[in-house]
């Protein structure tokens, strides 16, 4: 595997695990290793896929738990609304467009998003707010899509919750 993950491009992998379709993004070197051990070491291959599927299951469980704590008046949670918007928009966008975030870009996203926290708490439709964040990021020289921003924000929240 590559020594420096920051220089290793990310790729999306998909596979079926116990009747469930799993999609995730991993470093290309890891995807290559998974593919290589398919024939050379089936047990290792199975182990990798089981670990990825388990992580995906834990993330979905965490999402459900978070959503149950923060219900919205519409009957939908913020995450469900964002997920629906992201799903609808992602069909229009090129899914192979991957952005590897730098620490500076993450800090910029956090600052811009937190500036709009009150608006997010008071609004039922977050689509306009995410568009504004996308525009602000572009003004700061960070060329990312709304979906990339929403996914990064979701993953940053998960990372913080895991470390808490």
pLDDT of residue 67: 61
pLDDT grade, residue 111 (50/70/90)?
very high
What is the distance between the alpha carbons of residues 75 and 68, in angstroms, rounded to a whole number?
11
pLDDT tens for each residue of 50-103: 888 877 776 676 666 666 655 444 455 444 544 454 444 443 444 446 788 998
pLDDT: which is higher, 85 or 117: 117
Give the three-class secondary structure for 62: helix
Cα 72 from chain centroid (whole Å): 22
Is it the case that residue 164 has pLDDT exceeding 80? Answer: no
Q: Half-sphere exposure (CA, 13 Å, Cβ side) for 157?
A: 14
User: How large is the average pLDDT for residues 10-33?
Assistant: 81
pLDDT grade, residue 113 (50/70/90)?
very high
Is it the case that residue 130 has pLDDT exceeding 90? Answer: yes
Is it the case that residue 2 has pLDDT exceeding 70? Answer: no
Segment (H or E) for 110? helix 103-115
What is the distance between the alpha carbons of residues 134 and 145, in angstroms, rounded to a whole number?
7
The most confident of 34-43, 83-92, 96-105, 109-118, by mean pLDDT: 109-118
């Amino acid at each position: 595997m590559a020594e420096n993950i920051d220089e290793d491009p990310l790729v999306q992998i998909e596979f079926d695990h116990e009747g469930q379709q799993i999609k995730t993004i991993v470093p290309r070197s890891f995807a290559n290793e998974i593919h290589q051990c398919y024939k050379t070491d089936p047990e290792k291959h199975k182990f990798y896929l089981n670990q990825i599927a388990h992580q995906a299951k834990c993330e979905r469980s965490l999402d459900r738990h978070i959503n149950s704590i923060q219900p919205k008046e519409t009957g939908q949670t913020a995450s469900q609304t964002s997920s629906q918007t992201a799903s609808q928009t992602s069909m229009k966008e090129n899914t192979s467009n991957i952005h590897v975030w730098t620490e500076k870009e993450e800090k910029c996203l956090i600052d811009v998003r937190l500036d709009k926290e009150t608006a997010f708490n008071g609004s039922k439709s977050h689509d306009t707010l995410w568009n504004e964040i996308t525009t602000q990021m572009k003004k700061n020289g960070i060329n990312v899509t709304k979906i990339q921003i929403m996914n990064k924000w979701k993953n940053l929240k998960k990372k913080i919750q895991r470390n808490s």
